[in-house]
């Protein structure tokens, strides 16, 4: 693959060409585009992985310029062909697959983070709605898709020129894309910023709460969410700010502390088992690290407080 940098706005612009059985491309990377360092080699919808299954915090818009492919977004597959648009919203896992490594296929792609394009303000502005906007994942060519596709082609042409006026042209074209998407009904309803995060957080929090006393690991949780362990762990850390095992421990230790505060259990071994731990010593070590004192001393402290 041959790469040549171009793009003025904080975005990634890609343009692929397929000639004589070889692929060529031009691409510009920046801080907006942060794919996982361990992209998942999941084979879905085709024999050849063109873009491995991954996710990032930006919007990714792909225009199929030629050929056919299978786009997988959030475990749903779309057969796409020339003229179709494939859009992945922030934190939506996605991948692109071809029937073979020599399949005739070309794309144009724009990746950007809405938070970098539409500025934050102390007062409510129209940009707040645009930052939270979520697109439909697959928009077929022709009709509304034709005008949206032309916006992507225009942005690629602008980026290639790298002129001083390109920044104004790029942002106006992106605004045109947003305007057309809203007008043509190519957007989805959303509540708050990063609804994908919200849905994931709710789903996994409920799962942990319902299975807190069972043997749960990142692998079992990943299987429940239908993700690979690597993808699940990365998404969990991005959403919760901690590892899955640390989150589970914090929930179990909170449960143990609440039981002590309510005077339900007075023996450490029983408390460990009632909180999802089979090893009392391991439980005691985690409890002390979290609360600052051993569970037996905390039990004594609460008992003395209640007697007073």
Domain map of the chain by residue range? 11-188, 195-307
State the pLDDT at residue 126: 65
Q: Largest Cα–Cα distance of the chain, in whole Å? A: 86
User: In whole angstroms, what is the distance from residue 193 CA to residue 195 CA?
Assistant: 6
| 10-residue stretch averages of pLDDT, the chain, 308 residues long | 40 75 57 34 47 75 92 85 92 82 86 77 68 88 80 85 67 89 81 55 83 92 83 81 89 90 85 92 92 90 79
Token pair recorded at residue 6: 């171009």
What's residue 252's pLDDT?
A: 92
Quick one: pLDDT at residue 8?
Answer: 42
pLDDT of residue 238: 76
- Say what the pTM is: 0.57
Domains 11-188 and 195-307 share a fold: no
Domain spanning 11-188, CATH class: mainly beta
C-alpha–C-alpha distance, residues 94 and 212, integer Å? 30
C-alpha 64/C-alpha 85 separation (Å) is 6
How many other CB atoms are there within 10 angstroms of residue 56's CB atom?
21
CA atoms within a 13 Å half-sphere pointing along the CA-CB vector of 191: 2
Identify the pLDDT of residue 285: 93
Position 190 scores a pLDDT of 54
The pLDDT value given to residue 49:
64
Strands (E), 55-128: 59-73, 76-81, 85-88, 94-98, 105-112
- Tell me the C-alpha distance between 110 and 95, whole Å: 15
Contacts of 65 (CB under 8 A, 6+ apart): 16, 82, 106, 107, 108
Residue environment code for 255-269, b if the CB has 16+ CB neighbours within 10 A, otherwise e: bbbebbeeeebeebe
3-class DSSP state for residue 129?
helix
CA distance 189 to 6: 33
Query: Given the structure tokens 């004192």, which residue do they identify?
Result: 293
**What class is the 195-307 domain?**
mainly alpha
pLDDT of residue 170: 79
CB 140 within 8 A of CB 176: no
């Amino acid at each position: 693959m041959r790469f040549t940098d171009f793009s003025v706005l904080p975005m990634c612009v890609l343009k692929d060409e397929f000639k004589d059985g070889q692929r060529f491309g031009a691409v510009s990377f920046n801080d907006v585009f942060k794919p996982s360092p361990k992209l998942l080699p999941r084979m879905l919808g085709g024999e050849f992985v063109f873009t491995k299954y991954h996710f990032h915090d930006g919007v990714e818009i792909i225009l199929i310029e030629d050929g056919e492919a299978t786009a997988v977004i959030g475990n749903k597959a779309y057969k796409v062909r020339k003229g179709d648009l494939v859009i992945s919203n922030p934190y939506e896992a996605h991948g692109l697959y071809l029937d073979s490594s020599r399949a005739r296929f070309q794309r144009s792609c724009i990746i950007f983070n809405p938070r970098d394009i539409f500025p934050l303000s102390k007062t409510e502005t129209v940009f707040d709605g645009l930052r939270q906007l979520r697109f439909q994942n697959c928009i077929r060519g022709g009709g509304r898709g034709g005008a949206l596709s032309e916006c992507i082609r225009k942005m690629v042409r602008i980026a290639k020129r790298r002129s001083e006026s390109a920044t104004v042209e790029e942002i106006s074209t992106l605004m045109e894309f947003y305007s057309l998407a809203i007008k043509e009904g190519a957007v989805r309803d959303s509540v708050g910023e990063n609804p994908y995060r919200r849905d994931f957080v709710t789903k996994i929090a409920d799962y942990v709460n319902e299975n807190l006393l069972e043997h749960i690991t990142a692998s079992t949780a990943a299987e429940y969410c239908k993700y690979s362990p690597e993808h699940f762990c990365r998404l969990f850390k991005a959403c919760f700010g901690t590892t899955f095992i640390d989150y589970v421990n914090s929930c179990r230790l909170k449960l143990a502390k609440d039981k002590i505060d309510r005077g339900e259990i007075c023996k450490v071994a029983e408390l460990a088992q009632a909180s999802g731990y089979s090893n009392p010593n391991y439980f005691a070590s985690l409890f002390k690290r979290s609360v600052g004192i051993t569970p037996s001393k905390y039990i004594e402290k609460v008992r003395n407080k209640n007697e007073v």
